[in-house]
Amino acid sequence: MLGWFRALMPREDRFFDLFARHSATLVEAAEALQEVLKGGPDVARHCQVIIDREHEADAITAEVLLAVRRSFITPFDRGDIKDLIQSMDDAIDQMNKTVKAIQLYELRNFEPLMQDMGGTVVEAARLTAEVVPLLNAVGTHAGRINQITEAITHVEGRSDEMQEQGLKALYRTHRREGGDGDAMAYIIGAEIYGHLEDVVDRFEDVANEISGIVIENV
């Protein structure tokens, strides 16, 4: 009877499988966002990829939260598990918000620095996908985990700089050209830059959550 009951309970290692699946959606969505920012006729198709991955990520997040409630034993603190998966989900949610804005304004052309920021999103997503499996043995991989979380923080810093440069370039361009239409173009461009920076900020939140887990478990 006890063996049957245990079989119904989520395995401890299941959490790591779910984290890895979620991180895979982050990478796929980030790569699709990078394609979106290249512009052209395929923008709508790549936007849909992000929307689909976001739905998948939501389902995985719900599965993690259910597993936390059903599990007697978890690999680390329940609150840390919830905060980690929620921060990961916030990252893809922000990608979804970005493409929603792109769809709203029917954008098909993007500034070079927006495209560069898309590269930082991909970089942060890939680093996240690399670090998450290492949580399965925090003590063994603590050094490498810290290196990766620091790398994500550096990516966020570069993204900040790109956003500032992009906003300055937008301002100079549209101040020189003048007119109400140019003012609207600046507002829209600034909004897209803001969304992209928010995406990378959310990955930094993931890195901070992981750093906290290391501190508490090593």
Q: For tokens 């790569």, what's the residue?
A: 31
Per-residue pLDDT, 207: 98
pLDDT at 182: 80
Q: Which residues contact 152 (CB under 8 A, 6 or more apart)?
A: 124, 127, 128, 131, 203, 204, 206, 207
- pLDDT for res 183: 86
Which tokens sit at 210? 């992981």
Domain assignments of the chain as residue spans, ordered by start: 10-212
Please give the DSSP secondary-structure letter assigned to residue 11. P
Fold of 10-212: Methane Monooxygenase Hydroxylase; Chain G, domain 1 (1.20.58)
**pLDDT means per 10 residues in the chain (218 residues)?**
42 85 98 98 98 98 94 91 98 98 97 98 98 95 98 98 97 69 88 98 98 95
Instruction: Compute the distance between CA of residue 51 and CA of residue 27 in angstroms, rounded to an integer.
Output: 13
What per-residue confidence (pLDDT) applies to 33? 98
pTM: 0.92
Q: Which residues contact 105 (CB under 8 A, 6 or more apart)?
A: 188
Q: In 10 A of CB 182, how many CB atoms? A: 15
Residue 78 Cα distances to 2, 63, 83, angstroms: 24, 14, 9
Q: What local confidence, expressed as pLDDT, does residue 180 receive?
A: 52
C-alpha 216/C-alpha 210 separation (Å) is: 10
Residue 71 DSSP class: -
